Amino acid sequence: MQIDLSGRTALVTGSSQGIGLAIATGLAHAGADVVLTGRDAGRLRAAADGIDGRVTTVAGDVTTDEGTAALLAAVPDVDVLVNNLGIFGAQPALEISDDEWRRYFETNVLTAVRLTRAYLPGMRERGWGRIQYIASDSAVAIPAEMIHYGVTKTALLGVSRGFAKEAAGSGVTVNSVIAGPTHTGGVEDFVHSLVGDLPWEEAQREFMRLHRPQSLLQRLIEPEEIANMCVYLASPLASATTGAAVRVDGGYVDSILP
């Protein structure tokens, strides 16, 4: 397949590392002008230096009104919006405070809602656009060790479907991507917190055996494998895919439906 995003501007939130950086890199390789966002200007510059393509960076905290306003002032219109920003962590269910629930919803859900409200009208007026939400297998199979994270990802599935209806007939598609357990620096720390200070390959195997035994891939997914799906969904080739929850989960979700 030939994917050409030349002339399109793509914004990926939380893109200084991990899945977000892999998605931004894939979009740039497909020809898009890419905007990286994150709180750390230095890490953003380093990330941009590693991408072969047209890349700009906007540093700021989009969980705040000020950070969101600064981003919208710097980048008033985009053709592709990938809502990747998210936080996760293990915590006993009965010990998750109200403030922690609010923090997870603010970061994982409401930032995506605000940016969709800001950018969808322009896409609709131009008759073309792509909006994506990076969800998780945890949206469907809520993990006992981080139900607050799982529930926010469940919410993103509903947000995605709802905004897809808002964009109906406009040439704008809205989808969520159900990412399976993925190998990032943050996940390495998470894995070690659950299985102990083992050598990485052994720790990964033990984590998958004990905590993600449903995976048919039986390994962590690499960020680039998630990015491949996101680049496709951002392209004209995916024009008939909207309102969907597309799985890149290594077969983790035990369902014959997407």
| Residue numbers annotated as active site | 149
Give the residue from 257, 248, 168 showing the smallest Cα distance to 216: 248
Q: How many CB atoms lie within 10 A of CB 3?
A: 18
Place of tokens 């070690």: 192
Say what angle helices 223-233 and 18-29 make with each other, to 10 degrees: 50
How far is residue 119's CA from residue 144's CA, in Å, rounded to a whole number? 35
Angstrom CA distances, 205 to 86, 210, 229, 235, 254, stand at 25, 9, 25, 35, 20
Alpha helix ranges (H) inside 41-169: 41-49, 65-74, 98-105, 111-126, 147-166
How far is residue 105's CA from residue 86's CA, in Å, rounded to a whole number? 9
Residue 67, token pair as written in the block: 């950070």
Residue 18, token pair as written in the block: 């991990």
Question: Residue 251, exposed/middle/buried by CB under 10 A (0-12, 13-18, 19+)?
Answer: middle
Residue 244, token pair as written in the block: 């969907």
How far is residue 144's CA from residue 156's CA, in Å, rounded to a whole number? 19
